[in-house]
Amino acid sequence: MNKSFAQKAASALVVALGAIATVSSAQAGTLVNGWNYARDDYSYDGYNNGNLSATSQYDIYGIGIKEVGNEIWVGVSASTPLTGVYSSAAADQNIGWGDLFLDFNYGKPNNSFASAQGSLIGIRFAATNDSGVSMTGVYTGVTAKSVTQDNSGFSSLNQYATYVPNAKIGDLALNDPYYSGYKYARVPNVISSYSSRVGDVTALLPSALVDLPNPALASNNLIKFGFKFERPVGFSGDYLGSLFLECFNDSAAIRGNSRSRSVPVPPAIAGVLVAGALGGWRMAKRKKQLKAVVV
Ligand SMILES: [Ca+2]
Ligand SMILES: [Ca+2]
Ligand SMILES: [Ca+2]
């Protein structure tokens, strides 16, 4: 059957768009059981007073983000309970979770966790932590501050790296430039200031977390918890999520892309891709013809 030019162009476009989809899903992170999931269980990197093992109480194993209708679900797998761990070394005698930060300028030129201060979406999900805001909820226009000092924590990314050189920050390497502003400074891990409080946070039932992946490492203290919130304005496009413990004894970043964003291919780019793909098809056809001649 002879394909018309339009049919060939259409299938070439499908091939070209397939290539784009592959690239953008690499950017978006890893999908597991419907969760955009960032592992943080490549090794025990949750420091517990010299202990890096299955018995540490400060290890994040993974974080997942799922979009369900107009809700954003977040699932966490870790050894630290939502309400934290008793510690006489902490100002409030408890070391728990920082707040979750989402940076929707991620990937833009010169973007970093430092430059994103003031434009972050911040989510306080742990009601008993040391957040700078009094209520749990979803906040926009957020700047973050560090509470590692009050929580017997690390004074810089570099100090943590000295003790846990094989650590990862979830989807990112320990030395990723995104966090380089805090190589020699305390990493901001809770909300400090904000423009607007735009929504509430609700706990997810355990039944909503059954398909959240289990850690690849054994754990004596495995805990899964989750929370959800209404999609806030600005939750659209490529993002980076940052989740730290109050002591910065472990940290995890998650790369993602919100599906709500429609991604039309500009006609000029689509045209170039079609031409490129057709060029490849013509070349393949020419090779076939040459081969036919040789045979
Ligand atoms: Ca970890
Ligand atoms: Ca605390
Ligand atoms: Ca980590």
Ligand with minimal distance to 253 CA: 3
Instruction: Quote the CA–CA distance of 149 and 72 in Å, as a whole number.
Output: 31
193: β partners: 143
- Measured between alpha carbons, how far is 142 from 242 in angstroms, rounded to an integer? 13
The span from the CA of 253 to the CA of 260, in Å, is 21
Q: Cα 139 to the chain's mean position, in Å?
A: 18
CA of 40 to the centre of ligand 3 (A): 5
Point out the ligand nearest to the CA of residue 44. 1
Give CA–CA dist 76/170, Å, rounded.
Answer: 12
Q: Which residues surround ligand 1, an ion (CB under 5 A)?
A: 40, 45-46, 59-60, 250
Nearest to 203 by CA among 139, 135, 126, 133: 126
Q: Hey, where are the domains in the chain?
A: 1-27+264-295, 33-261
pLDDT value of residue 294: 39
In the block, tokens 């902490």 appear at: 90
Kindly give the distance from the C-alpha atom of residue 87 to the centroid of ligand 2, in angstroms, as a whole number.
Answer: 8
Q: How far apart are CA 31 and CA 224, in angstroms?
A: 18
Taking the centre of ligand 3 as the mean of its atom positions, its distance from the CA of residue 217, in whole angstroms, is 13
State the ligand closest to the CA atom of 250.
3
Give 244 Cα–ligand 3 centroid separation in angstroms. Answer: 9
Q: Which ligand is nearest to the CA of 95?
A: 2
| Ligand number, closest to the Cα atom of 166 | 3
* Ligand 2 centroid – CA 28 distance (Å): 32
Q: What is the pLDDT of residue 279?
A: 45
CA of 198 to the centre of ligand 3 (A): 29
The pLDDT score that the predictor gives to residue 198 is: 98
Residues in the chain with pLDDT values less than 70: 1-28, 260-295
d(CA 93, CA 85): 8
SS (H, E, C) the chain: CCCCHHHHHHHHHHHHHHHHHHHHHHHHCEEECCEEEEECCCCCCCCECCECCCCCCCCEEEEEEEEECCEEEEEEEECCCCCCEECCCCCCCEECEEEEEEECCCCCCCCCCCCCCCCEEEEECCCCCCCCCCCCEEEEEEEEECCCHHHCCCCCHHHHHHHCCCCEEECEECCCHHHHHHCCCCCCCEEEECCEEEECCEECCHHHHCCCCCCCCCCCCCEEEEEEEECCCCCCEEEEEEEEECCCCCEEEEEEEECCCCCCCCHHHHHHHHHHHHHHHHHHHHHHHHHHHHC
> What sign has the CA pseudo-torsion 180, 120, 200, 75?
negative
2-40 pLDDT, tens digit per residue, is 555 555 544 444 444 444 433 344 356 789 999 999 999
159 CA to centre of ligand 1 in angstroms: 17
Say if residues 228 and 36 touch (Cβ distance below 8 Å).
Answer: no
What is the Cα–Cα distance from 92 to 102, expressed in whole angstroms? 27
Separation of CA 45 and ligand 2 centre (Å): 20
Question: Ligand 1 centroid to 194 CA: how many Å?
Answer: 29
Task: Among the bound ligands, name the one nearest to the CA of residue 83.
Answer: 2
Whether residue 190 contacts residue 130, with contact meaning beta carbons closer than 8 Å, is answered with yes
Predicted confidence at residue 28, as pLDDT, reads 62
Cα of 123 from ligand 2 centre, angstroms: 17
How high is the pLDDT of residue 58? 98
Q: How far is the CA of 217 from the centre of ligand 1 (A)?
A: 10
Ligand 1 centroid to residue 241 C-alpha, Å:
15
| Among the bound ligands, the one closest to the CA of 251 | 3
Say which ligand is closest to the CA of 80.
1
The ligand minimizing its distance to the Cα of 97 is: 2
Dist. CA 201 → ligand 2 center (Å): 20
